[in-house]
């Protein structure tokens, strides 16, 4: 199937539209925050162009991740809210690409649960799952119990969407904030011990 995928041919036929994220953000955020009127006016024509092919529209964006990495978490959340508002007016599937160092306690310092609220699903990687296992081991060592079960019962809707390790770290940040760094450090150590050695 990969040999049949020709981005240039798809772009030439109008089925694929590639938009530079940095340039698009400059258009949508002249004052540092996404503006709904600009967002809608800029993206509706793109949706209209590709919608005529009738196979469903899929959008991949990483602008939220770029804003998040720059520390502009409020703008990232607002941007996600605008995508959700646009999805109520037009039919498309949205895939957001966020890069997050799940093993770093700094990743949990921002309003991560608010990002969780703006998404229907959050997919973890194999490394996220390994981190969850290492975090369970670390929490059992530090507290004498495994915290992932408690974190799994959280009432915070945004946190429930995250993979188990991230859910546990969010629970610890909320309920045992002084333990966040200690747990993350021990979990990283366990991950290093059990990571497959590459030759």
Say how far apart CA 13 and CA 156 lie, in whole Å. 45
Q: What is the pLDDT of residue 120?
A: 85
The answer for residues whose C-beta is within 8 angstroms of residue 174's C-beta and 6 or more apart is 156
Q: Which H helix or E strand runs over 17? A: none
Q: What is the pLDDT of residue 10?
A: 81
At residue 104, the 3 state secondary structure works out as coil
pTM: 0.78
Half-sphere exposure of 37 (CA within 13 A, CB side): 1
Q: What is the pLDDT of residue 149?
A: 67
At residue 153, the 3 state secondary structure works out as coil
- Which ranges of 3-154 would DSSP assign to H, the alpha helix? 7-13, 21-28, 36-51, 63-69, 73-89, 112-117, 126-143, 148-152
Q: What is the pLDDT of residue 153?
A: 53
Say how far apart CA 188 and CA 190 lie, in whole Å. 5
Q: What is the pLDDT of residue 40?
A: 96
Instruction: Give per-residue pLDDT as tens, 108-153.
Output: 777 888 888 898 888 888 888 888 888 888 888 888 888 766 665 5
The DSSP code sequence of 60-74 is EE-HHHHHHHTT-HH
For residue 144 the two structure tokens come to 């004498």
Q: What is the pLDDT of residue 110?
A: 75
What is the DSSP code (8-state) at residue 59? E
Cβ(147)–Cβ(180) under 8 Å?
no
Q: Work out whether the CA dihedral 139, 142, 143, 144 comes out positive or negative.
A: positive
Q: What is the residue-level pLDDT of the chain in tens, covering all 199 positions?
A: 556 778 888 888 878 888 999 999 999 998 889 999 999 999 999 888 877 666 788 899 999 999 998 989 999 999 999 999 999 999 899 999 888 887 887 887 778 888 888 988 888 888 888 888 888 888 888 888 887 666 655 555 555 678 777 888 888 888 888 888 888 889 889 888 876 655 4
Q: What is the pLDDT of residue 180?
A: 84
């Amino acid at each position: 199937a990969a040999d049949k995928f020709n981005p240039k041919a798809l772009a030439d036929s109008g089925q694929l539209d590639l938009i530079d994220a940095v340039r698009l953000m400059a258009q949508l955020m002249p004052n540092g925050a996404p503006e709904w009127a600009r967002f809608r006016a800029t993206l509706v024509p793109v949706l209209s162009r590709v919608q005529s092919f009738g196979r469903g529209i899929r959008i991949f964006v990483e602008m939220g991740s770029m804003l998040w990495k720059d520390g502009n978490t409020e703008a990232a959340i607002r941007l996600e809210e605008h995508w959700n508002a646009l999805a109520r007016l037009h039919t498309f599937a949205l895939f957001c690409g966020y890069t997050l160092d799940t093993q770093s306690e700094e990743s949990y310092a921002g309003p991560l649960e608010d990002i969780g609220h703006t998404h229907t699903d959050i997919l973890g990687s194999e490394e996220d799952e390994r981190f969850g296992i290492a975090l369970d081991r670390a929490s059992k060592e530090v507290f004498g119990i495994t915290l992932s079960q408690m974190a799994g019962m959280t009432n915070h809707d945004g946190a429930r969407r995250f993979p188990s390790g991230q859910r546990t770290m969010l629970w610890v940040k909320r309920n045992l904030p002084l333990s966040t760094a200690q747990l993350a450090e021990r979990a990283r150590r366990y991950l290093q011990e059990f990571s497959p050695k590459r030759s």
